[in-house]
């Protein structure tokens, strides 16, 4: 290589570098490495509506338990968007150079790969742009402490309301575009909203390309880029280990007959993905203490709702903009008498006087129709108290949780199509018994947990709960209790720090 060749190489590298950085930003993400953000993406990110996601913990109340659960919805949304790093060229002191190509990821990555390797799909640049923005904006609608808000608080604050954070994401997307004067066609906005919803509600022209609506939110088999990112991000931050590899799924995928399919050898990887998700729920998301804290947050929000209009904010994007995890500090700073009860609950949380876990029952499949959220109530437990224990409905919290492979009792892999290296034009299913006999035959656990707001009544509530179970299950022997009640609670002997009734005169 002569001097002129070296100069030409250097100039070429600099031109590539200038082109790479022109109109874009680069973000270094712990999961995906360097992420290149297009100029139109930055236009969305640099808005109050998107920056709000920095103040929403990805794992909600789990940060009160696990110090590693500090990541937020902002990181997850950017990660779900894309990293499709262009080739960067570095010159060494030896005047040789190295090219580093980042691994392309997630919504933009997947559709760009389809467009490049399957030109017959006729994917346009506008569609790629909308898919990137759908991945970016899919979580705009989360409320304080994420799923605590839409999964627990809202059903209690506004019973009967059919509302989800996905609906709020569409509302906040409209608000973001209008409030920041972003120039977009109405057809583009509707397309992005449909991509977030995972269905072509108003896009009849996409009848022959429905696979586009399976990239961000896949309702067919639950394999989508949202799941790719949060499983990797949550396991990383929580210190869990998994052999699941999202990058392989991105590489070994293609569209066949209007459906995203995977190379047949990725069937094990897909099972590992769903198993990792199961472990996250079993070990992390549904941690007993986390559920206890979540119920305290729900009670605190309900107590403050009349004053702060928390539940009605979902109807007003200008108000919802300020509904973040910071609402706890807002309540704590206030001296308003109407917020006294809410402040009291938050202080109990801050001083670690938490609602107490009482007992748990793993519901057998044959009893799942009998023991449901509508058929098991706190009053049912109270009605089975003994020895005039003095229990009332407010003492008892009934909590149901489901742990599955993303599709309730179904095996999601049964709904995934595969192709072989010998024929990538036709797809097929892979039966479970052709993969392994160690794969479960039941794909959902339903847990019934009981908590109490008053630790002095733990033993009485446990006895009442187990009497109730014996009546329902027609079984006299249910085995040992899931949790043994500490002696100090049985004898009502409390340390000074714990001598507190979580049900005081306020109730």
pLDDT tens per residue, range 207-230: 888 999 999 999 999 999 999 989
Q: Which residue in 456, 250, 484, 276 sits closest to 353, CA to CA? A: 456
The whole-number average pLDDT for the span 120-128 is 89
Helix (H) or strand (E) holding 360: strand 356-363
pLDDT exceeds cutoff 70 at 17: no
Residue by residue, what is the 3-state secondary structure of 144-160? Answer: CCCHHHHHHHHHHHCCC
Give DSSP secondary structure letters for 92-139. -TTS-EEEE-PPP-HHHHHHHHHHHH-GGG---HHHHHHHHHHHHHTT
Q: Tell me the two tokens of residue 392.
A: 């009332």
d(CA 106, CA 226): 8
Whether 268 contacts 418, CB under 8 Å: no
Q: pLDDT band at residue 324, thresholds of 50, 70 and 90?
A: very high
d(CA 360, CA 393): 18
Helix (H) or strand (E) holding 404: strand 396-404
**Given this model, what pLDDT does residue 81 score?**
55
pLDDT exceeds cutoff 80 at 499: no
Q: What is the mean pLDDT of the chain?
A: 85
Whether 142 contacts 171, CB under 8 Å: no
Topology (CATH) of 3-280: Hypothetical protein af1432 (1.10.3210)
More confident residue, 486 or 366: 366
pLDDT in tens, 50-68: 999 999 999 999 999 999 9
The contacts of residue 312 (CB under 8 Å, 6+ apart) are: 319
Residue 480: CB atoms within 10 A of its CB come to 6
In the block, residue with structure tokens 């009544």: 457
Kindly state the greatest CA–CA separation across the chain: 96
Residue 454 CB-density burial (10 A; 0-12 exposed, 13-18 middle, 19+ buried): buried
Residue 76 falls in the annotated catalytic set? no
Q: In what order do the strands lie in the sheet with 356-363?
A: 356-363, 444-452, 396-404
Whether 468 contacts 434, CB under 8 Å: no
In the block, residue with structure tokens 């070429």: 12
Q: Tell me the two tokens of residue 385.
A: 């108290």
Q: What is the DSSP letter of 315?
A: G
Each domain of the chain, given as residue ranges in start order, spans: 3-280, 355-405+443-507
Q: Is 252 helix (H, G, I), strand (E, B) or coil?
A: coil
Q: Is 498 helix (H, G, I), strand (E, B) or coil?
A: coil
Q: What percent of the chain has pLDDT over 70?
A: 83
Residue 82: CB atoms within 10 A of its CB come to 28
Q: pLDDT band at residue 494, thresholds of 50, 70 and 90?
A: very low
Q: Tell me the two tokens of residue 132.
A: 């990137």
Residue 251: CB atoms within 10 A of its CB come to 15
- Residue in 76, 83, 105, 165 annotated catalytic: 165
The whole-number average pLDDT for the span 423-437 is 96
pLDDT in tens, 125-183: 999 899 889 988 999 999 999 999 999 999 999 999 999 999 999 999 999 999 999 99
Q: Tell me the two tokens of residue 318.
A: 């200008």
**Given this model, what pLDDT does residue 483 score?**
54
What dotted CATH number matches 355-405+443-507?
3.30.70.2760
Whether 141 contacts 171, CB under 8 Å: yes
């Amino acid at each position: 290589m002569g001097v002129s060749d070296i100069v030409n190489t250097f100039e070429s590298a600099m031109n590539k570098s200038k082109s790479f950085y022109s109109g874009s930003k680069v973000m270094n993400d712990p999961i995906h490495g360097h992420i290149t953000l297009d100029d139109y993406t930055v236009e969305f990110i640099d808005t109050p509506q998107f920056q709000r996601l920095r103040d929403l913990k990805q794992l909600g109340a789990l940060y009160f338990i696990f110090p590693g659960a500090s990541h937020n919805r902002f990181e997850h949304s950017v990660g779900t968007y894309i990293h499709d790093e262009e080739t960067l060229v570095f010159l060494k002191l030896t005047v040789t150079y190295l090219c580093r190509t980042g691994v392309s990821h997630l919504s933009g990555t997947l559709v760009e790969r389809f467009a490049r390797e399957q030109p017959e799909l006729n994917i346009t640049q506008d569609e790629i742009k909308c898919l990137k923005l759908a991945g970016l904006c899919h979580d705009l609608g989360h409320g304080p402490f994420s799923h605590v808000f839409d999964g627990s608080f809202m059903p209690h604050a506004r019973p009967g309301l059919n509302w989800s954070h996905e609906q709020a994401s569409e509302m906040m997307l409209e608000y973001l575009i209008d409030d920041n004067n972003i120039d977009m066609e109405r057809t583009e906005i509707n397309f992005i909203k449909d991509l977030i919803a995972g269905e072509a509600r108003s896009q009849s022209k996409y009848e022959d390309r429905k696979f586009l609506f399976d990239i961000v939110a896949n309702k067919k088999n639950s394999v989508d880029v949202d799941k790719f990112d949060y499983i990797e991000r949550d396991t990383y931050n929580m210190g869990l280990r998994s052999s699941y590899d999202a990058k392989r799924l991105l590489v070994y995928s293609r569209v066949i007959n209007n459906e995203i399919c995977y190379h047949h050898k990725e069937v094990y990887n897909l099972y590992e993905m769903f198993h990792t998700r199961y472990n996250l729920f079993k070990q992390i998301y549904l941690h007993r203490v986390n559920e206890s804290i979540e119920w305290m947050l729900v009670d605190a929000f309900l107590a403050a709702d009349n004053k702060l209009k928390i539940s009605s904010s979902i109807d007003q994007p200008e108000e919802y903009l300020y509904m973040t995890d910071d609402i706890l500090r807002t309540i704590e700073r206030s001296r308003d008498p109407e917020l006294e009860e809410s402040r009291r609950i938050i202080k109990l949380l801050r001083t670690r006087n938490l609602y107490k876990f009482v007992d748990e029952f793993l519901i057998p499949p044959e009893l799942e129709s009998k023991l449901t959220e509508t058929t098991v109530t706190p009053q049912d437990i109270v009605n089975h108290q003994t020895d005039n224990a003095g229990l009332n409905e407010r003492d008892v919290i009934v909590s149901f949780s489901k742990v599955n492979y993303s599709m309730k009792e179904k095996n999601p892999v049964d709904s995934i199509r595969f192709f072989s290296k010998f024929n990538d034009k036709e797809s097929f299913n892979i039966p479970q018994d052709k993969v392994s006999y160690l794969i479960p035959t039941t794909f959902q656990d339903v847990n019934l947990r009981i908590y109490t707001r008053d630790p002095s009544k733990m033993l009485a509530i446990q006895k009442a709960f187990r009497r109730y179970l014996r009546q329902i299950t027609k079984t006299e022997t249910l085995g040992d209790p899931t949790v043994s009640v500490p002696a100090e609670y049985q004898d009502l002997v409390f340390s000074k720090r714990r001598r507190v009734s979580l049900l005081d005169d306020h109730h």
